[in-house]
Amino acid sequence: MGEEAPEYLLNNLELAACDSESTGCRTATIVGNKTYVVEGSEDGSKSWINVKIFDKLTRSWVFPTVLGIKPVQQKGHSALLLKNEQLLIVKMDSTLDDCIWFLEVDSPFVKEQKEILGTEVVAWSKGVIGNAPKPIVISGPSGVGKGTLINKLMKEFPSRCGFSVSHTTRAPREKELDGVHYHFTERSIMEKDIRDGKFLEFASVHGNLYGTSIEAVEAVTDSGKRCILDIDVQGAKSVRASSLDAIFIFITPPSFEELEKRLRARGTETEEQVQKRLRNARAELDEAKSPGLFDHILVNDDLESCYENLKKLLASDETADPLCQPSVKILKAHVSHIESKADHKTLIHCSASGTNAATHSLLMLDMSSLKGGAPGRTRGLDVYALESLGDGLNGI
């Protein structure tokens, strides 16, 4: 289980049945009755790492549904099976921020997607060094003041908070900008992107489609900022069920009358839309009471005191998850071999050049604190240098 398929086996695997040309290094990893072949292939001007599966029982190739953002192929890669659930893929000749990837082949997320889609499924998740602070999911009925509170946060902490820009099929309001407030999109395009697994969650709200793309969240968290999501209660439920480890906050109005007053005073909706939003608000206020859904409920009566309470909640989590730096800085790694050791340690044999001009020949990946995973990034990786061919690594 888990060993690389010998070359003779690969040659006999009816490789001819596959029409993709291999441009880079190819690995084959056996998981049960399936051999996962991971290889580079041209797709327009770019070269991606693609996946196909040889099914030993039917002796045929299966081209799985591939979820997540695919890695760009460099000069090849090495693969290692972890817990029969995922392949650790270390790309050659890559910078550290793009070198470590996970291909989930039988993780809980992939199992669930296989059931939903009724096909063979694999899912990519990029490995990220360290931890960004937990994302914040903010929900609440239309007109309660979510946007106002989030705007205040973004203004006061532009370098620490980033907004997850959702996609929606609703028309832009007068002052809304495409790509800033929302990605305004056509329903057919959004539906296709949902089918292609590009969304962390989506929901039909007040008659329009809204959704958070995986890319929207990752763009913010990769920059080390805390990601703020403004999504409805159905979306919050989906995120709760996903691998995204977030803090869930529900904003509630001091009274229903006040909510109605704010919604009308905003003047962005027609009377019919206001009525629809008010009807939905009652259901949302009820649903927010579902046990285990929201971590905190904040009443937005006086704006300034609600904002202060929101900041206190965020500050209380900040020390729990500081942004950690890797133990080594690597500019490029040329991987020759990876192997698993006890205690969640993985050794990467490589030549790697670092910022201090030293050359590391053996790196160790500590994966004991991995978090997340498909459909998002895999966070919490740490990398140590074990051996040095140059100088500058004393004390590691």
Ligand X SMILES: Nc1ncnc2c1ncn2[C@@H]1O[C@H](COP(=O)(O)OP(=O)(O)O)[C@@H](O)[C@H]1O
Residues at the interface with ligand GDP (CB under 6 A): 142-143, 147, 166, 170, 201, 203, 205-206, 210-212, 230-232, 234-235
- Yes or no: say if 382 and 366 are a contact pair by the CB < 8 Å rule: yes
Distance CA 165, CA 176 (A): 12
Tokens 């051996």 locate to 387
CB of 140 to ligand X, least distance (A): 6
Residue 303 engages ligand X in binding (rule: CB under 6 A) = yes
Among 226, 277, 377, 379, which one carries the catalytic annotation?
277
Number of residues near ligand X (by CB under 6 A)? 14
The nearer residue to ligand GDP, 70 or 206, going by C-beta atoms, is 206
Q: List the interface residues with ligand X, window 146-175 (CB under 6 A).
A: 146-148
The nearer residue to ligand GDP, 147 or 392, going by C-beta atoms, is 147
Which of 87, 144, 333, 383 is the binder for ligand X (CB under 6 A)? 144
Residue 145 engages ligand X in binding (rule: CB under 6 A) = yes
Q: List the interface residues with ligand X, window 264-283 (CB under 6 A).
A: 265-266
Q: Hey, CA dihedral for 10, 11, 13, 17, is it positive or negative?
A: positive
Start-end of H helices in the chain:
7-12, 108-117, 146-156, 187-195, 214-222, 233-241, 256-266, 271-287, 303-318
SS3 260: helix
Q: Which does 210 bind (CB under 5 to 8 A by kind): ligand X, ligand GDP, none?
A: ligand GDP
Among 170, 262, 264, 266, which one carries the catalytic annotation?
266
Q: Which does 54 bind (CB under 5 to 8 A by kind): ligand X, ligand GDP, none?
A: none
Distance CA 226, CA 350 (A): 33
SS3 211: strand
- Tell me whether residue 277 is one of the annotated catalytic residues: yes
- Tell me whether residue 173 is one of the annotated catalytic residues: yes
Q: In what order do the strands lie in the sheet with 226-230?
A: 161-163, 226-230, 136-139, 247-252, 296-299
CB of 280 to ligand X, least distance (A): 12
Q: Which does 231 bind (CB under 5 to 8 A by kind): ligand GDP, ligand X, none?
A: ligand GDP
Q: Which does 300 bind (CB under 5 to 8 A by kind): ligand GDP, ligand X, none?
A: ligand X
For the beta carbon of residue 362, count every other beta carbon within 10 angstroms: 15
CB of 255 to ligand X, least distance (A): 12
**224 alpha carbon, distance to own chain's centre:** 14
CB of 345 to ligand X, least distance (A): 47
Structure tokens at 234: 């159905």
Residue 361 engages ligand X in binding (rule: CB under 6 A) = no
- φ and ψ of 254, to 5 deg: -65, -30
Name the site residues for ligand X (rule: CB under 6 A): 140, 142-148, 262, 265-266, 300, 303, 306
